[in-house]
Amino acid sequence: MSTQAQGDGKPVSGSPAGGGPLAGIRVLDLTAVVLGPLATQTLGDWGAEVIKIETTSGDLVRNSGVFRNRGMASVFLGVNRNKRSVALDLKTPEGAAVLRRLIPTVDVLVTNIRPAGMARLGFGPEQCRALNPRMVFAVATGFGQDGPHRARPAFDEIIQAASGLADIVGQEEGRPRFVPSLVADKITGMALVSAVLAALLHRERTGEAQLVEVPMLETMAAFVAVEHQGGHAFTPPIGEPGYKRLQHRKPVPTKDGWMTLLPYSSANWCAFFRAAGREELIEELSVEDPVKRNAQIDRVYAAVAAIAPGRTTAEWLALCEEHDIPATAFSTIEDLPAHPQIAGVGLFQPLQHPSEGELRMARPPTRFAATPASIRRHPPRLGEHTDEVLAELGYAPEEIAALAERRVIRRG
C-alpha cells in the first residue's frame, strides 16, 4: 500500500523492516509540540515509516522538560520515537524543493501548521495534491476552518478553556481550573490517528485520497458534551447541563490514606453496603433502583465517605476484590512503573539512546496479535537522518554538503 516514486530517476526506499499493522505506510510528519507528534508517533509505533520534517532550529518541544543534552528534553522523547528527523528550511527555494521531492513518495502528510501558513509555504492541500494525488493530507487545526475563529492560534490551555473542560474541572472551587495534563493535545492527537486510518481505509477501498481536518476545539467540545450536556441534550432543555454523578466521584479517606471506591452497578452498591455491615442503607438509599439512586446520589456518596475511614486502604481493597467492586489505591507518577499491573505487563521498558544514554519509555500499549507494535527507532537528534533521507531522494553527497553550507538543511 506504500507509494513508490522516483527521485532524480532513482527509486526511493520503502519502510524499514519492523512489522506492525501499518508496515509499508510512509508518513511525512510536519508537526511540532505534542498533538501532532503524538499522532505520528502512534502511526510509527504501529509500523509506519515516519519522516519528521523540522526547522533547522528544531521542534519547539525539544527543550521542554528536563534534559541531559539540549534539544533532547523529556517531552520531546515522549512523542518522537520511531521517526527519522530531517532538518530543513522550507522558507528557502532549495528547502521547498526537497519537500516537493519527498511528497510523491508518501502515503500521508500530517501537519499542525496553520493552513494559511502551509499555503504561504506552497504546500496547501491542492498544491500537495498536484504532487501526489494518492496522498492523504491530514491537518490538525485549533478551530475548524469553516468557522469564524479559523485563523486563531491554539494551544492546550486555550482549548481546555474554550471547550468548557476547565469550567467543569473547577466548578467545586468556583473558578475555572486546567487539568494538569495536555489532555486537549493528546485527545485530539488520538482523534487525528483515527482520522488518518479512516482516510487510508477509504483510499484502499476506492483509490481516492482526501483532505482530513481534525479541529481541537470541536473535538474537545464533543468529548466534553458526551456526559455534560445533561438536560441540554434535549430541545427545549429538560434540566441543567452537567453530569452530577461525576461531581461526587472523589477520593475517599480511609483509616490510613486515600483510595477510590466506585461501586457502579446496583449489584455493586448492594454488595458494598452488605460487606461494610450497613445493609440497612440498601433500602434507605434505594441503591437497587438506578433511577432512585441517581436522584439522591449526594446522599449515596456521602454514605461512602462516612463509611470508608473505618478500614485501611488494604482492607477495603481486599474486600472489594472479594465482591468484585471497582476500587483502587492511588498511584504517584514516581511509583507508577512499580504498579503491579504496569510492572506485570512490562509497560515501561529501557531503551538505549546513542546520545542520551538509557531511557525509560512506555512501550506501545495497544496489542496486535498478528502484527505487534514496537519501538524500532530511538527519538532522533535534530537532523539525524537528513543526509540519509536526501540520499534516498537522489541527492548526491556534494549536493547535500552544499545545502548544509547554505544552511538550507541541518545535519545530525
What are the tens digits of pLDDT across the range 94-122? 999 999 999 999 999 999 999 999 999 99
Size of the chain in residues: 412
Check pLDDT > 70 for residue 225. yes
Q: Would you state the pLDDT for residue 244?
A: 80
pTM value is 0.93
Check pLDDT > 80 for residue 63. yes
Average pLDDT, the chain: 94
What the block records as the C-alpha cell of 353 is 539512546
- How many Cβ atoms from other residues are within 10 Å of residue 148's Cβ? 8
Distance (Å, whole) CA 227 – CA 230: 6
- With cut-offs at 50, 70 and 90, classify the pLDDT of residue 7: very low
DSSP conformational letter for 31: -
Q: Would you state the pLDDT for residue 4?
A: 34
Mean pLDDT, residues 252-257: 96
Check pLDDT > 50 for residue 214. yes
User: Which residues, listed in sequence order, are joined to residue 128 by a DSSP beta bridge?
Assistant: none
Q: Would you state the pLDDT for residue 8?
A: 31
Distance (Å, whole) CA 200 – CA 206: 10
Ramachandran region, residue 387 (left: φ > 0; alpha: ψ -120 to 50; beta: rest): alpha
Check pLDDT > 80 for residue 1. no
| Cβ proximity of 320 and 312 under 8 Å | no
Mean pLDDT, residues 366-370: 97
Q: Which residues of 175-196 are buried (b: 16+ CB within 10 A; e: fewer)?
A: eebbeeebbbbbbbbbbbbebb
Give CA 374 to chain center in angstroms. Answer: 17
Distance (Å, whole) CA 76 – CA 94: 27
- With cut-offs at 50, 70 and 90, classify the pLDDT of residue 249: confident
Distance (Å, whole) CA 156 – CA 257: 33
Check pLDDT > 50 for residue 15. no
Cβ-in-10-Å burial (0-12, 13-18, 19+) of 269 comes to buried
DSSP conformational letter for 332: P
Cβ-in-10-Å burial (0-12, 13-18, 19+) of 37 comes to buried
Q: Would you state the pLDDT for residue 18?
A: 58
Mean pLDDT, residues 399-412: 97
Q: 266-275 and 313-322 helices cross at what angle (nearest 10)? A: 130
| Cβ proximity of 15 and 25 under 8 Å | yes
Percent of the chain at pLDDT > 90 equals 92
Ramachandran region, residue 174 (left: φ > 0; alpha: ψ -120 to 50; beta: rest): left
Q: Would you state the pLDDT for residue 13?
A: 32
Mean pLDDT, residues 204-225: 98
336's CB contacts (< 8 A; 6+ apart) are 342
**Alpha-helical regions (H) of 65-215:** 74-79, 93-102, 115-121, 125-131, 156-162, 165-169, 183-206
Comparing CA positions, the residue from 98, 102, 101, 128 lying closest to residue 113 is 128
